[in-house]
Amino acid sequence: MKSRVIAAVLVLALMAGGCASKGATGRSVGGFQPSSALVARVPHFIAGEQGGAPAALAMSLSWAGFPTEPAELFQAVSPASPFGSPRLSLIAAARQRGALAGEISGLDALLRELAAGHPVVVLLNRGFSWWPDWNYAVAVGYDLPADRILLQSGKLAQKEMTMAVFDDAWVGGDRWGLLILPPDKLAAGATERMAAEAVVGLERTRNWKAAAMGYRAMLTRWPESVGAWIGLGNCLYAQRDLAGAEKTLEEATRRMPREGALFNNLARLRLERGKRGAAQRAAERAVALGGPLTETYRRTLAEIVEAKGQVPE
């Protein structure tokens, strides 16, 4: 069996897509609690000749457990990066190093992550709309009673700004934020779909071990996430842990006995492991459950029946 067979069902199950969290914009945060927060142990790097983006990314990566110097990131996030968009370049560079990276949007989302102890890369325009002066910084804390937010940039280890001044600068960057986390830690405000996009991003860089950690974190929060179960099985399979992948999918089918995709993947895995009888039973269950992937399930069953006819079990 090819790993792409499992991956094909994975993409459908995860419904991955663009999904920045649409938090509140502007300065209205209601009765947000806690009223203040400070993220500890965020290192500071001077921007130097590399500019603000490598410095901000290095701060967040180093905090997340991936020690990195700004100079190491210059090519990855430079205008000549193969990813084109500077934002996409930052995300790709973080994922290539094994970190979980995802976008957030809005002040509520930003404060929620800071309150959870997560620093956030932000893009600020300190100039004018018609003459922008873009600067990447890392938000590391806030104090609502004092109407302040605390930042680290490639120039300053700590800089306080009023919420109004910060928002005026942040709105030019669409109130966008980048969250970079260890692979076993999810965003405080993540939906299942947001988390799936971030972990799938790790899979696309072939960081199988890190992606598996991300899927396990998802299953802690959403124990019946079909996509996370399939994704975890896929990552174990990619690492050639076929027994672990089979055990994972068996557990998934016990928890969700009406999900045909799980039985289909289990059938293919068992076929590869030479368990043709057990594979056929799983494939028959997938076909019986039906759904939009029924034809895929039927092809799996036909392949297993053919294999049984050619080689005695």
Long-range contacts of residues 193-196, Cβ cutoff 8 Å, at least 24 apart: 193/14, 193/15, 193/16, 193/17, 193/19, 194/19, 194/20, 194/21, 194/102, 195/102, 195/221, 195/222, 196/14, 196/15, 196/16, 196/225, 196/227, 196/228, 196/231
Distance, CA of 84 to CA of 74 (rounded, Å): 14
**Those residues with Cβ within 8 angstroms of residue 94's Cβ, 6 or more apart along the chain or in another chain:** 57, 60, 61, 101, 178, 180
| Block residue for tokens 């290095």 | 58
pLDDT, greater one: 37 or 74 = 37
pLDDT of 36 above 90? yes
Nearest to 177 by CA among 146, 149, 216, 205: 149
Q: What is the pLDDT of residue 132?
A: 76
Q: What is the pLDDT of residue 22?
A: 38
Structure-token pair, residue 201: 């991003």
Band the pLDDT of 29: cuts 50, 70, 90. low
- In a 3-state reduction of DSSP, which class is residue 117? coil
- The mean pLDDT of 137-147, rounded to a whole number, is 96
- What domains can you pick out in the chain, each with its CATH number? 20-181 (3.90.70.10), 214-310 (1.25.40.10)
Outline where DSSP puts E strands in 35-188. Answer: 36-38, 100-105, 120-125, 134-143, 148-153, 159-162, 176-181
Q: Out of 120-134, 205-219, 244-258, which region has the weakest mean confidence (pLDDT)? A: 120-134
pLDDT of 79 above 90? no
- The mean pLDDT of 129-157, rounded to a whole number, is 90
Q: Residue 109 is inside which H or E element, if any?
A: helix 107-115
Q: What is the pLDDT of residue 44?
A: 94
Q: How does the average pLDDT of the chain come out, rounded?
A: 87
DSSP 8-state code for residue 48: G
Distance, CA of 198 to CA of 190 (rounded, Å): 10
- The mean pLDDT of 144-160, rounded to a whole number, is 92
pLDDT of 4 above 50? no
Q: What is the pLDDT of residue 310?
A: 62
**Those residues with Cβ within 8 angstroms of residue 106's Cβ, 6 or more apart along the chain or in another chain:** 21, 22, 23, 24, 25, 175
Band the pLDDT of 81: cuts 50, 70, 90. very low
pLDDT of 182 above 70? yes
| Block residue for tokens 């919420």 | 163
Report pLDDT digits (tens) over 205-239: 999 999 999 999 999 999 999 999 999 999 999 99
Band the pLDDT of 37: cuts 50, 70, 90. very high
Do the beta carbons of residue 100 and residue 180 sit within 8 Å? yes
Cβ neighbourhood burial of 306 (10 Å; 0-12, 13-18, 19+): exposed
**Predicted structure pTM score:** 0.86
